[in-house]
A and B are shown apart, each in its own frame.
Chain A
Amino acid sequence: MTKAAALLLAGSLALAACASDDESSSGGTSGGGEGDLKVGVAYDTGGRGDKSFNDSAIAGVEAAVKEAGGDVTEDIQELSPNADGSDRAELLTQLAENGFNPVIAVGFAYGDIIGDIAAEYPDTQFAIVDTSVSEMGVDNLTGLVFAEEEGSFLAGVAAASKSATNHVGFVGGQESPLIAKFQAGFEAGAQAVKPDITIDVKYLSPAGDPSGFGDPEGGKVAAQGMYQAGADIVFHAAGGSGEGVFEAAVEAGQRAIGVDSDQYLSASAEQQAVIMTSMLKRVDNAVQGYIEDFAAGDLEGGSDILNNLETGGIALSTSGGFIDDIQGVIEDYRQQIIDGDIEVPTTP
């Protein structure tokens, strides 16, 4: 009996290990497109349909391809890595081998390997979102990087200004230097408005375990804990787990702040009521701009393209009108950051 139970458990774990949510969608086949522009996209774990990072990237690619007169199903090839990400190098190599140019790697997880692969295929242009390439010394590689801490600072300003309990929260996906930038900016922004504010911080998974970006249940539990402890606004930088944060906000009757895309726009009606604002990280604009530069032959290569408050690549959304009354305050801080009067930290 116990043996049967244990076997069942083992089997279910094995299946869980097999399960993955990577999903490729209607990418085009290699060969036979109309335009010259053939873009390869390698997704981060989670793939298309995350309503966040990956979706934003592909939106930018599609916009650029359309603009160039290409066909979005024929001229774009999307690839998702397997569940444990062990075939990432293979994705980039095969895109390059099949003649896709440029090849765009979505997510810093590719940062470890993309330098070597770009060096192997000098005739293909590569870009990587969220990783600085300026020190890699590869001419056909561009880094699309963002000043997330600046936008998170404004999110912190908004949260602190709106908090009635003087208590806010931050839910991060995986403990990593990238998400630490969100946390650092958020804390600095909140403290700039209210120096004595209480900020709860919770990461969903430790460094080395990316599960925190796809764990809505974990996100919900974390946010519930913060609301119960007295927080009334929770900012999440946790990818797909943010869905759980919004659910918790609906149940608690409190508010949440979205991330990456304007999450108000893709949310259900009851969640729209709680999504106060979103910290916009315009991966779509960055990717689109990159492809346009590529098509026009203006790529510098070997360097980074920085997107921040000044370039508009980072911003705070206003959908829903929840923060209209504090726009003045936010604008004031925004200008100070752009002018360099406020130096936003990148580590908490």
Chain B
Amino acid sequence: MNALRRIGASLFAPALAVVVAIVLTAIVILVIGQDPAVALRVLLDFGDTPAQQTQSIVVILNRAVPLFLAGLAVAVAFRMGLFNIGVEGQYRMATVIAAGVGAAVVLPAPLHVLLIVVVAMTVGALWAGIVAVLKVTRGVSEVISSIMLNFIALGTASFLLTGPLRGSEEGAAIITTTDIPESGRFPAINGLFGVLGLEQPRGQLFGFLLVAVVVGVVVSVLLKRTRFGFDLRATGLSPSAATASGIDARAMVIKTMLISGAVAGLIGLPDLLGRTYHFGTEFTAGLGFLGIAVALLGRNSPVGIAFAALLFAFLDRAAVPLQFADIPASVVTIIQGTIVLSVVVANEVARQITRRRAGRAGGQGGDGGPDAGTSAGPAGPAGTRITDDRQEAGA
């Protein structure tokens, strides 16, 4: 009963947010003189033939993979109370250097891919590490330094692309790095559709989807089932209490930012290893910022972020068919924007409702109730405080 209520409470806020967003968007569509019902139908219509339908699924999944990784990168830092706004710069730096390294070496297939992944994660981690070092040694707010480092990353990536790593010939309209050879590419996993008995889509499903799932599981376990994860969440909830109980807050800042940056380094790889095989002037930008929205929507839990990424990707897919139906694609943007806005508001509303209910329940066991046992850490005041709704408060 209690668990049921808890799940209900945690689903309440995002569900409310989605409903509010849809209502607001419907009003906007009405105002511009179009029919919201048509828009809704387009959103849900994946195509006429089985091949078109599976293709829609491919489009959604391929979009969701980088969004999920971006949300995850942001959330790891969020959980500890760090606002890593620099994910954008971290993944741009990581992708351009990984593309350069990947094109420069020749290795047997699995090693080649592994090398590119490791390089990307290392660069992302190092770039995020700058933020951490500045914070720990000089007390620079990570919000400021990570935003500023985005501009530096953009400029540096541009310099690397147009200078040392340039692969396209002089005069080409699009500047790119040299293509990564066959051995460094991540194979598509379209076989999945055959196994499931579905029609083959015309596009290719990113094999990197599997990596994203593994990363999601690893981060989830790390946060919820390890001493490190406990320290991280404890520091996020109350840095002073965490320090008092023997957690080295400075070391935690550095470790967390390194992990956040390493995950951020992966964001560009689905595209790089599965589709374009090079970094270039037209490489997808802005995923780092979208990751913030996805993390907010997913309430910083890996499962929630997966759903949030799928929701964003589901909405993005409709951008093209909506235009065929004479509805501006901006409708998608409006829905996404209002969802993020309302999720922030809804979280706060849900938290207050939970708190009031807990208050009525009569002071025993604190606001989270007996479910505090889920955390692996020591019992006591700090332990009982780490419950789901408290983490939302931290976010």
Contact = CB atoms under 8 A, between A and B. Distances in A.
A200 to B, nearest CB: 20
A59 B141 CA distance: 50
Interface in B235-287: 271, 276, 280-287
Interface in A50-104: 77-80, 82-87, 90-91, 93-94, 98
A98 B324 contact: yes
A38 to B, nearest CB: 12
Given A108-B174, A207-B175, A82 B319 contact: yes
Contact of B325 (A3, A7, A29, A132): A29
B162 interface: yes
A111 B174 contact: yes
B155 interface: yes
A11 B341 contact: yes
Nearest to A8: B344
Interface stretch (A171-179, A292-300, A333-341): A171-179
B290 A14 contact: yes
A206 B344 CA distance: 34
A206 B174 CA distance: 13
**What class of interface size applies to chain A in its complex with B?**
35 or more
B59 interface: yes
Given A24-B328, A90-B59, A80 B340 contact: no
Contacts of B341: 11, 15
A17 B292 contact: yes
Contacts of A30: 324
A10 B295 CA distance: 11
Nearest to A13: B289
B371 to A, nearest CB: 25
A124 interface: no
A20 B330 contact: yes
A293 to B, nearest CB: 23
A13 B326 contact: no
Nearest to A11: B344
B297 to A, nearest CB: 9
Contacts of A86: 63, 271, 284
B289 A14 contact: yes
A79 B323 contact: yes
A23 interface: yes
Contact of A83 (B83, B143, B322, B333): B333
A26 B326 CA distance: 6
A207 B175 CA distance: 8
A62 B113 CA distance: 48
Contacts of B316: 82, 87
Contact of B285 (A24, A26, A175, A208): A208
Contacts of A196: none
Interface residues of B, number: 60
B161 interface: yes
Contacts of B170: 177, 347
A29 B340 contact: no
Interface in B35-93: 59, 63, 81, 83, 85, 92
Nearest to A176: B281
Contacts of A3: 81
Contacts, number: 164
A84 B289 CA distance: 11
B325 to A, nearest CB: 7
A112 interface: yes
A14 B341 CA distance: 10
B348 to A, nearest CB: 11
B174 A27 contact: no
Contact of B173 (A10, A18, A178): A178
Nearest to B171: A177
A18 B337 contact: yes
A269 interface: no
A25 B176 CA distance: 32
Nearest to B289: A17
A29 B42 CA distance: 13
Nearest to B92: A208
Interface string A150-167: 000000000000000000
A9 interface: yes
Nearest to A211: B285
A13 B85 contact: yes
B161 to A, nearest CB: 6
Contacts of B333: 18-20, 22, 83
Contacts of A34: none
B125 interface: no
Nearest to B330: A23
A6 interface: yes
B136 interface: no
Contact of A206 (B154, B173, B324): B154
B172 interface: yes
Interface centre among A18, A23, A177 (most CB of B within 10 A): A18
A84 B292 contact: no
A174 B147 CA distance: 21
A291 B212 CA distance: 45
B296 interface: yes
A16 interface: yes
Interface of A: 2-3, 6-7, 9-11, 13-30, 77-80, 82-87, 90-91, 93-94, 98, 108-109, 111-112, 130-132, 174-178, 206-210, 346-347
Interface of B: 59, 63, 81, 83, 85, 92, 141, 143, 147, 154-155, 157-159, 161-162, 170-176, 202, 271, 276, 280-290, 292-293, 296, 316, 319-330, 332-333, 336-337, 340-341, 344
18 contacts: A7-B83, A11-B296, A14-B290, A15-B337, A15-B340, A24-B327, A24-B328, A82-B319, A84-B285, A90-B320, A111-B172, A111-B174, A175-B162, A176-B175, A177-B170, A177-B173, A177-B175, A178-B173
